[in-house]
Chain A
């Protein structure tokens, strides 16, 4: 059965610059594992430790180019590989098979595979559509695992409110600029001149620009901004919920939860931020790495494992920490050259 090769590991090499085509790679993999007769899905661990699919030339290329220097590839029988598997945070929960490889020159399968939405890591979502006024939009930006900067600026401005006494001008906070290529811009959910109403459920009315800035930065790991878009034409129309178009920009989370203020589960946010890193002992990386929530991920380095440069003190450690930075809970807490405890893997 599948599990029989679940513990099998193979390693081979690929040309980083000419990875070839997916089909060839697929064949190589099934051949190497002698499972040519089964239908399998292939995934890889990206730099953030997320399990992402390899099912066409592009993501194969991306996968190979992200090998650093090792690419960890996971193989699953297609019937077993539920869609839940890919995406952020999957790897630390589920590990099936791991193949370490680097190879070249195989042949492709003439079959085009379209990934399920769940195969992608969410970068943003519109939430609480059902409880907010239609003129408002609550946007959640997922920073973890994302290389992109949040990438926007806010400013002071004047907002017009409807009150019982008529229209009233009040000070407000507005988005003033989007950084090209930033997370905020790439989601398409925020735009210049959108008025910021809340930050993670807390109203910004009465707060200064600096206060709102500080609140956003303090929540930057899981920022939920409620805005009143300057452009009101793309608003969600209540009742005709079409999750694919209005609900989420890039899938990942389920449909908006019906309760107030959340899809934003405090626990989840808390634990996101609780992920402080504690390094025991001197600054050498193999000393051990624990997360502060108690479940320790102590990477054991195989005695004979070839080490990359991360063995150096200080700098290497810092680099490692910064690589881990966005959200180590969902990441492979794995120094380069090290091996994760329960992720069966081989290295050269």
Chain B
């Protein structure tokens, strides 16, 4: 036990450790939590998203990603790319400006912060005088114009943020230069809009919140034109040729103003309230974009009728008699329109609308009739329904990969065929070494299949289990059900839908066999579905079987939720994974563990009451075993109240996490910021005082058989090993409970030719009670060479050597407190490593991983990757249980992050850093997926507007992102479409790594 305290000092081993292990957080997948700002560079073709926690993330072509974090941790309010440069400026909510640049180092670009600056007024001036509201990077590339709350426009010189005081455009200066008749009203106040003349860099437009717009001559320091609106100004758009202004206002109207130096306009050319006549909400931003065909695009945010649609988050597109109000399920943060980037071009010809909503990014194809959405190659909203579990499958065979993609592509008919329009930069990352799938289970009963091979987490296919059950609402109903003549012409877009019809549908466990295409998913109400991949649509009845896990327990009353009602008749299933068996656990408690053995055609499932084994070939139950302690009343009655409180506590922990991320951060500068802070500080103090009054105390008591939930089945494992005697091995099923009990059943699976004729038999062979009674989180059998047994069918598919069946097998049992190796078949303790007794941390997640050597191609070792409740990640050696390395990975307070962690079989892992983002990390030196990309100005010149799949441009341009997964794998996109191009290199590599440890 001391060995843990004393790090090994064998220098050779230390060297090898450095060659095998290294810890990196490599990339964040998904959609940024709490986005607060959007920026877009037309020339770089890069999108930037800022968040409330001070992160700024840049995205270009798939694989091109950068992230920067402001030290201040303040919310990013605005992002502006500097024209024609690889630089951007961010404005934070503490009124500071930051200059970032993409610099090339060692062949790859890096995002770094160069300078920061806070605008200060003269001593004694009100803080609002320098509170920045608008930032205009001037095309001269060295000046920033800063509009403020006080109405002045300050000018700073980049890159040092030198204030050019003599160039300040003060309200007084503007006032003096206005004609007499325009001066009579208090027209100034806050600067709402600053724009440079599209063609003449010497003119800028300044819009003030009270409705005055002036065009200012920078050289002559004079007002060229002014426009006076009767309504509060929200924003202004300047037509490409500079001859027309379109202003939008707080009453939901927008006005067109012709720009002419000679004739001063007292009234707008045209004023319009698009969703009038009843009172409307403000139009906060507007684009007026010209097209070659003549009819302009008018795209604006807001303006909905206040009474009936005031709560909608809408962006309306009006063009050529068509009008659609895109209706988002979460608040719109900002939007932009991708249009012709070449300043010399005569028309805007917009092609895509990019909308950043609170919970997702939506891109609309404006070139295709009907304005369909574009499928995202990244930035997917992982949490469109809350993630309830995840499962990672490494190294997917190409065949299955293609079938999943094919099934998924049929689900994406509603998407535009447009190539991903934001395609700046070049990804230099090596092709991912293998195809990996990350499966996420969701609260609404869906399972999403993500391509997790590379930097971009891309949705391949979505499986819904809802059709198996009778639910209150028909899933097809909520598809756009609006009629033709409806006004406003709302259209729901986006996938974020946080509302679940029935929480019992929630997916809790997933198990996919990558060789056979069998999938098992289990849910909150004790439902276990076995599905098979079918390339055709099918109409079939799902066979229903009930598994009574209580057997003959008496005096029992389940007080939890009821089981889901299943549809009885045949159900039509789309191509993809189609369920054929539903095993319903009784009582319908949440399924806590699941294992599938596709070679034996068996599926094992466990709940808080017991576990069962189902033969999905013959479609009958093999056995059930009740693990419940008779006195465990809580588990008997159903943990409904606990489920609720667990959910609540999860929600709270998310909220806490959010708060901690947002902490010490003011919101939008709406109110006096000091007040909020003071209030929260007061609350904090009060909280502290309360804590002192009633200190948290913890009971010290040994675990006992009478504790609650000891029968909760935590882990299930199939193994072909020596269970009864050392001469004959047999199939076996292992189950571990919360109370530290391991049950082992020997199985008799009939040979293939009689598989349908003879029943599968099971007999309990062993029951092991660990004395420390800690919950069992992992069971594993090591073969005669101390190598973990291969997965089912792995050997049959030539991807693994057969396990060694000569030497003696060993059983590894991992509890929350310790690791223990036993001999088989005798089950005598051989080795152990105590974790909790020595350092007070408990095992939360454990997985076997193969660590390949970076230097020696064919060398590798199997070890355990372990995540503790303190958020540490450790590698524990097999079979000697020696701690190898330890890294701190997740904050210990981040309970949901720790609970969401999954390990891959090659030393990588994922965990949720927010409800919508997975952090990817790597423990291996060899398998590392991280963005490596280059953005430079010269390269972006070659870009043109994206071709459209339907158009003629498609043929010449290789698909840049559609099917990126296959393309990346094979190195060249075209190889992916060749039928069965066995990626020999990958296969060989995997084989060699698998064999490496056995020589």
Contacts and interface: CB of A to CB of B under 8 A. Distances in A.
A321 B765 contact: no
Interface stretch (A55-63, A119-127, A217-225): A217-225
B700 A325 contact: no
Contacts of A156: 695-696
Nearest to A154: B698
A213 to B, nearest CB: 4
A209 B702 contact: no
Contacts of B869: 210
A223 B703 CA distance: 13
A48 B212 CA distance: 92
Contacts of A293: 828-829
Contacts of B772: 218, 221, 273
Contacts of A327: 771
B701 A149 contact: yes
Interface in A279-313: 279-283, 290, 292-294
B155 to A, nearest CB: 52
A177 B771 contact: no
A152 interface: yes
B502 interface: no
Task: Find the residue from A143, A277, A318 having the highest chain B CB count within 10 A.
Answer: A318
Nearest to B870: A211
B695 A157 contact: yes
Contacts of B72: none
Given A155-B695, A215-B836, A314-B626, A278 B702 contact: no
Contacts of B820: 276
Interface string B274-314: 00000000000000000000000000000000000000000
A283 B767 contact: yes
A151 interface: yes
Nearest to A212: B840
Nearest to A200: B837
Contacts of B698: 153-155, 209-210, 212-213
B6 interface: no
Task: Find the residue from B700, B767, B834, B841 having the highest chain A CB count within 10 A.
Answer: B700
Interface string B691-723: 000011111111111100000000000000000
Given A214-B842, A292-B829, A276 B702 contact: no
A150 interface: yes
A274 interface: yes
A250 to B, nearest CB: 19
A237 B769 CA distance: 44
Contacts of B870: 211
Interface residues of B, number: 48
B771 A274 contact: yes
A220 B700 contact: yes
Nearest to B840: A211
A331 to B, nearest CB: 12
B769 A276 contact: yes
A163 B701 CA distance: 34
B187 to A, nearest CB: 60
B695 A221 contact: no
A270 B820 CA distance: 12
A108 B771 CA distance: 43
A78 interface: no
Task: Find the residue from A221, A276, A292 having the highest chain B CB count within 10 A.
Answer: A276
Contacts of A281: 764-766
B447 interface: no
A106 B840 CA distance: 56
Contacts, number: 142
A315 B630 contact: yes
B838 interface: yes
Interface in A242-300: 266, 270, 272-283, 290, 292-294
Interface in B516-538: none
A160 interface: no
A124 B550 CA distance: 41
Nearest to A143: B702
B360 interface: no
A279 B829 contact: no
A328 B826 CA distance: 18
Contact of A277 (B696, B763, B771, B834): B771
B771 A321 contact: no
A278 B767 contact: yes
Interface string A149-172: 111111111000000000000000
B837 A322 contact: no
Contacts of A14: none
A292 B827 contact: yes
Contacts of B763: 282
A94 interface: no
A228 B838 CA distance: 21
Contacts of A218: 772, 774, 817-818, 834, 836-837
B863 to A, nearest CB: 23
Contacts of B695: 155-157, 176
B612 to A, nearest CB: 16
Nearest to B705: A322
Interface in B880-912: 892
A348 interface: no
B555 to A, nearest CB: 12
Contacts of A276: 768-771, 820, 829
A221 B771 CA distance: 9
Contacts of A212: 698, 840
B392 interface: no
Contact of B696 (A155, A266, A278): A155
A13 B705 CA distance: 33
A281 B829 CA distance: 18
Interface in B787-840: 817-818, 820, 822, 826-829, 832, 834, 836-840
B771 A273 contact: yes
Nearest to A314: B626
Nearest to A211: B840
A312 to B, nearest CB: 11
Given A155-B695, A156-B696, A293-B829, A220 B769 contact: no
A217 B703 contact: yes
A202 interface: yes
Given A280-B766, A282-B764, A153 B699 contact: yes
A24 to B, nearest CB: 38
Nearest to A295: B828
Given A153-B697, A280-B765, A322 B706 contact: yes
Nearest to A213: B698
A273 B841 CA distance: 18
Contacts of B829: 274, 276, 292-293
A276 B820 CA distance: 11
A241 interface: no
Nearest to A202: B838
Nearest to B830: A292
A216 interface: yes
Given A282-B763, A292-B827, A292-B829, A211 B841 contact: yes
Contacts of B818: 218
A83 interface: no
B696 A217 contact: no
Interface in A184-242: 184, 200, 202, 207-221, 223
B700 A213 contact: yes
Task: Find the residue from B697, B768, B826 having the highest chain A CB count within 10 A.
Answer: B697
Contacts of B764: 281-283
Contact of A279 (B701, B706, B767, B892): B767
B985 to A, nearest CB: 46
A151 B701 contact: yes
Given A214-B840, A266-B1, 8 more contacts: A154-B698, A155-B697, A209-B696, A210-B869, A216-B700, A278-B766, A281-B764, A325-B704
12 contacts: A150-B702, A155-B698, A210-B840, A211-B839, A214-B836, A215-B839, A218-B837, A221-B771, A221-B772, A272-B771, A276-B829, A325-B704
Instruction: Rank and list the top 6 A-B pairs by shortest CB-CB distance, nearest first.
Output: A211-B840, A220-B702, A322-B705, A218-B836, A213-B698, A218-B837
